[in-house]
Chain A
Amino acid sequence: MNEQFYENLSLVSTFLIVVPFAVTCVRWRRLAKTQKRLACLVAVVAIVELVANLLWRQYINNHPVYHVYSILEFLLILSIYSSYFDRTRINKVFFILGASFTLFALANMLFWQSPLEFNSNVTLTSSALIITLSLSSFYRMLIGPVYTTLHLIPIFWISAGLLLYFSSNIVLFYLGSRVELTYEDSLPIWGLHSIFNCLLILFFTVALWIQPKKG
């Protein structure tokens, strides 16, 4: 497969965020609490992708955008799970987790990986934490009351999308930070990453599209 194919794949993956964004605009008033928080994440992703693309096309390093995005993304995902778990004690843990992660990301930016470098430390940590959150939500769904309509539970789609995306990308972020590859050799890897990204966005779209039902 040639370079053009991977570039097109990357473009599709980048601009596919328009779909859940459009769904958000259409269904905003009917969205549940968890869905509204996901919509905020989608909006942030859309803005970040737009800015990063513009910078990239101007040949300006866009890593600083991703440094800020990593923090925003984690905090928004944390807020989605906080609305799902909805318990005072867990929310306290989430608050401490969010504050610690933010401090760690800022420290990483100041002392270890400058804003002009890829922030693999933060990305890896955030991926591991998000996978844990996703698995925790599956565990809660399992021990809680049996859902008659699992496909109408937004958190199911959100957790499934996040688990699929971050579990495969944690490998990419871990190995990618340890092996130096040429641009041509890394194309298939980023192509696969784009496919997983498309999948995540589709899962987000479904999570925003459905009308949640209790039980």
Chain B
Amino acid sequence: MDTAKEGLAMEIILISMSLVFFFALAFIIFFVVYQKRLLKQERTQQEKELMYQKELLQASIDGQEQERLRIAKELHDDVGTMLTTTKIYTGQLLNQLDEENRIRLSTKMNELLGATIQSVREISHNLRPVILDKLGLHEAILALVDTVNQSGEIQLNYTKQGAMHCTKEQGINVYRILQELITNTMKHARAKRVSIQLLAEADRLSIIYKDDGIGLDVKGTILKKGIGMKNIESRLSVLSGIINYENTASGFHAEMMIPLQSDVRR
């Protein structure tokens, strides 16, 4: 081989080696940059999940506080007031010798004690519906629907398909979710009719909730920050369930799917 050809061969080898080297280097740099990007995405996702969990926890705490406040208010305003009045009447009864007044006061005391018993029952029922434990979710929902329909504010229509085989914990959570949805509709939706459909299958429970109100602001405060909605999500997360909201011109529409396996992880 002459000198010129040898020089050219040497140059070709050198350039080829350098090119391949830089190609390999570029691959490694790309790998490192890509890893960093993945890491950043993963951290952002973790932060979002953490924030969401915090919001759920806060909603749960707020919900508990609201419930305590409601119970305290009902005890103070209803039961407390009635018992205080009864005590005053008892004091008057001791001083009254007149037969007519004694009968009148006794009747009033009897009415107040009856009202107090009713009040205590209602508080107890709101804390944990007895019917749910005794007769199950379907009967409890029927009772809830009856109670709401009797109020005359809105008309609830409830249908169920299939046999439900859920645990008591699943039952109370589904019941509370429906309660929360109905409360939201009554408070915000200005609806006249609500439809609740339960489809019970062997391994899942599907719930379709619809109202004919003005709909909830999906992007606004009600869904994003409302304690009620956070409570629903919190309960669904306990049940490993999912919810999809939809706002249509004809009102609010929510679809939930809850797995019913006995080994659902909590």
Contact = CB atoms under 8 A, between A and B. Distances in A.
A206 interface: no
At the interface, is chain A mostly helix, strand, loop or mixed? Answer: helix
Chain B interface size band reads 20 to 34
A111 B28 CA distance: 38
Contacts of A182: 6
Interface stretch (A41-49, A81-89, A113-121, A139-147): A139-147
B38 interface: yes
Given A147-B39, A179-B9, A189 B31 contact: no
Contact of A163 (B10, B12, B18, B27): B27
B42 interface: yes
B38 A181 contact: no
B94 interface: no
Interface in A144-177: 146-148, 150, 160, 163-164, 167-172, 175-176
A181 to B, nearest CB: 6
Contacts of A160: 28
At the interface, is chain B mostly helix, strand, loop or mixed? Answer: helix
A185 B6 contact: yes
Nearest to B42: A146
Interface string B12-28: 11101110110111011
B135 interface: no
Nearest to B34: A142
A175 B18 CA distance: 13
B6 A181 contact: yes
Contacts of A163: 24, 27-28
A146 B35 contact: yes
B10 A188 contact: yes
A184 to B, nearest CB: 9
Contacts of A147: 35, 39
A209 interface: no
B7 A185 contact: yes
A8 interface: no
A170 B16 CA distance: 10
B39 A148 contact: yes
B1 interface: yes
A196 B34 contact: no
B16 A175 contact: yes
B28 A164 contact: yes
B34 A171 contact: no
Contact of A181 (B10, B23, B32, B35): B10
B24 A167 contact: yes
A181 B25 CA distance: 28
A164 B18 CA distance: 10
Contacts of A69: none
A82 B23 CA distance: 26
B12 A146 contact: no
A132 interface: no
B45 to A, nearest CB: 11
Nearest to A176: B13
B6 to A, nearest CB: 5
Interface of A: 138, 141-142, 146-148, 150, 160, 163-164, 167-172, 175-176, 179-182, 185-186, 188-189, 192-193, 196
Q: Lowest 9 CB-CB distances: which A-B pairs, in order?
A: A168-B21, A167-B24, A179-B9, A171-B16, A168-B17, A146-B38, A185-B6, A175-B13, A185-B10
22 contacts: A138-B27, A142-B31, A142-B34, A146-B38, A146-B42, A147-B35, A150-B36, A160-B28, A164-B21, A164-B25, A167-B21, A168-B18, A168-B24, A170-B20, A175-B12, A179-B1, A180-B1, A181-B6, A186-B10, A188-B14, A192-B14, A192-B18
